[in-house]
Amino acid sequence: MRRCVTLVLTILLVVVWLPVRAHAAPSVGLVKASGPAVYYYAENGKRYVFPNDKIYFTWYSDFSTVQTISDAELAALPLGGNVTYRPGVKLVKIQTDPKVYAVDAKGTLRWITSEAVAASLYASNWSRQVDDLSDAYFVNYKTGAPIDRALDFNPGQVQSAASSISVDLGLEQKLSFTIEGDDQGLYPSTLTVPRAATISLTLSTRSTGVYYGGLEYRTSLLPGGSLTAAPGVAFTVNNIVTPATPGLIPISSYWPSSNVLKATGTIVVQ
């Protein structure tokens, strides 16, 4: 009997002292656990609920970027609130209110005061683009100025400005990165940036050890694909949106006038 008791105690001690595996926090974006519900995980460490699939599909076309985490990890993420419609995509009306609203930035509802204005903004079939918004979710929105003229609102512009749910929530962290160059290389030659983030990228040509015409930097992250900086000059490009999926993006430097390759590097998206 004593041997049995000792064996049981030994097993219990092994169980108690098993190391707990630490889990890294998910990346900003879509998450789910074993259940069907999909949430948006934001920079503030909170998850946001999609009240229905209509709201979800104003932000995403499919579920290809959803990260699966454990039920325990999901439960550890506090709720931050509900996701609202992406600005500019849909028109909405409240079930107890006949008015039709356009959705502006940060969940702002703006009453479109006439059918003519609605048609100007959303084409002749505008009524088919109206979603019913439950009274229960009206508290997630605020009311803005009415839209009396088509010039008062630009659906495409507000949609482009709300490049992510984090941007619309005002939670996005803008990050800054710098790459220097001379005729010998890029510094750093490998730069790591987060995925689906808005960043500022500074490209700086050193004042010494470089051709008098400076360097032309080429990478797909830049608007237009390239930027030329003279010796001792730095240019900063703001509001670059990194890809939503991990990958490698090449960056190269050239002599501008002769197109001679001087250095290559890699931007790692993770």
The answer to whether the beta carbons of residues 153 and 121 sit under 8 Å apart is yes
Look at residue 102 in the predicted model and tell me its pLDDT: 98
Look at residue 13 in the predicted model and tell me its pLDDT: 32
Q: Which one, of 143, 162, 196, lies nearest residue 88 by Cα?
A: 162
Look at residue 22 in the predicted model and tell me its pLDDT: 45
Look at residue 84 in the predicted model and tell me its pLDDT: 97
The answer to whether the beta carbons of residues 205 and 180 sit under 8 Å apart is yes
Tokens describing residue 81? 């609130």
Enumerate the H helices of 27-154 as residue ranges.
Answer: 53-59, 71-75, 115-122
Domain 175-269, CATH: 2.60.40.420
Look at residue 96 in the predicted model and tell me its pLDDT: 87
Give the Cα separation of 195 and 67 in Å (integer).
13
Domain ranges of the chain: 91-169, 175-269
The answer to whether the beta carbons of residues 79 and 42 sit under 8 Å apart is no
**pTM score, whole prediction:** 0.61
Please tell me the total number of residues recorded for the chain in this structure.
270
The answer to whether the beta carbons of residues 200 and 193 sit under 8 Å apart is no
How deeply is 105 buried, as exposed, middle or buried, from its count of CB atoms within 10 A (0-12, 13-18, 19+)?
middle
β-bridge mates for residue 30, sequence order: 40
Tokens describing residue 103? 């959705």
The answer to whether the beta carbons of residues 217 and 227 sit under 8 Å apart is yes
pLDDT digit string (tens) for the chain, length 270 residues? 445 444 333 333 333 333 444 456 788 899 999 999 999 999 889 999 999 999 999 999 999 999 999 999 999 999 999 999 999 999 999 988 899 999 999 999 999 999 999 999 999 999 999 999 999 999 999 999 999 999 999 999 999 889 899 989 988 766 899 999 999 999 999 999 987 778 899 999 999 999 999 999 999 999 999 999 999 999 999 888 888 788 999 999 999 999 999 999 999 998
Q: How far apart are the first and last CA of the chain?
A: 57
**What is the tally of helices (H) and strands (E) in the chain?**
6, 19
